């Protein structure tokens, strides 16, 4: 019977030239990576679609109107009598010359804009 040296005592016996612990490690790593990718996909879907659209959309020309001097917004009257205005612009986008400055007045537009949905959610990192 061959003698075991102290270094190999208690070590798993390789099968087909590959250690069992290495195979298990690869299996768990692959499972972890696939779960992480699935979690990232679900998180991204949550960030891209954070708010469901109001159901159903209000009939045009039926909601309350508010004039803000740069545009007129049409909101939504809730069943409890409260008027709701969502996604209204309050300042010009902070790009170019306006970056890191005080908010500037929004661009003037003609006509009536619907204010029944929340705008895009921007995530800053």
Q: pLDDT, tens digit, for every residue of 12-61?
A: 555 565 556 656 777 788 888 888 888 777 766 555 555 555 555 545 55
Backbone angles phi, psi at 36, to 5 degrees: -65, -40
45 & 60 share domain? no
**Cα 105 from Cα 69, distance rounded (Å):** 10
38 & 78 share domain? no
**Cα 109 from Cα 38, distance rounded (Å):** 43
Q: How many domains does the chain have?
A: 2
120 & 77 share domain? yes
Q: pLDDT, tens digit, for every residue of 70-119?
A: 889 999 888 888 999 998 888 888 888 988 999 998 888 888 888 888 87
Which residues fall within 8 angstroms of residue 70, CB to CB, at 6 or more apart?
A: 89, 105, 106, 107, 108, 109
Domain that residue 94 falls in: 54-125
**Cα 32 from Cα 2, distance rounded (Å):** 40
Instruction: With 0.75 as the threshold, say if the pTM is over it.
Output: no
68 & 102 share domain? yes
């Amino acid at each position: 019977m061959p003698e075991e040296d102290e270094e190999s005592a208690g070590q798993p016996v390789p099968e087909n030239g590959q250690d069992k612990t290495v195979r298990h490690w690869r299996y768990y790593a692959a499972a972890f990576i696939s779960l992480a990718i699935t979690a990232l996909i679900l998180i991204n879907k949550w960030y891209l679609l954070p708010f469901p659209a109001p159901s159903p959309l209000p009939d045009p020309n039926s909601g309350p109107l508010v004039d803000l001097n740069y545009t007129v917004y049409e909101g939504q009257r809730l069943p409890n009598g409260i008027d709701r205005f969502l996604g209204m612009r309050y300042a010009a986008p902070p790009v170019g010359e306006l970056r890191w400055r005080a908010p500037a007045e929004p661009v003037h537009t003609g006509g009536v804009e619907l204010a029944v949905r929340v705008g895009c959610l921007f995530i800053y990192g």
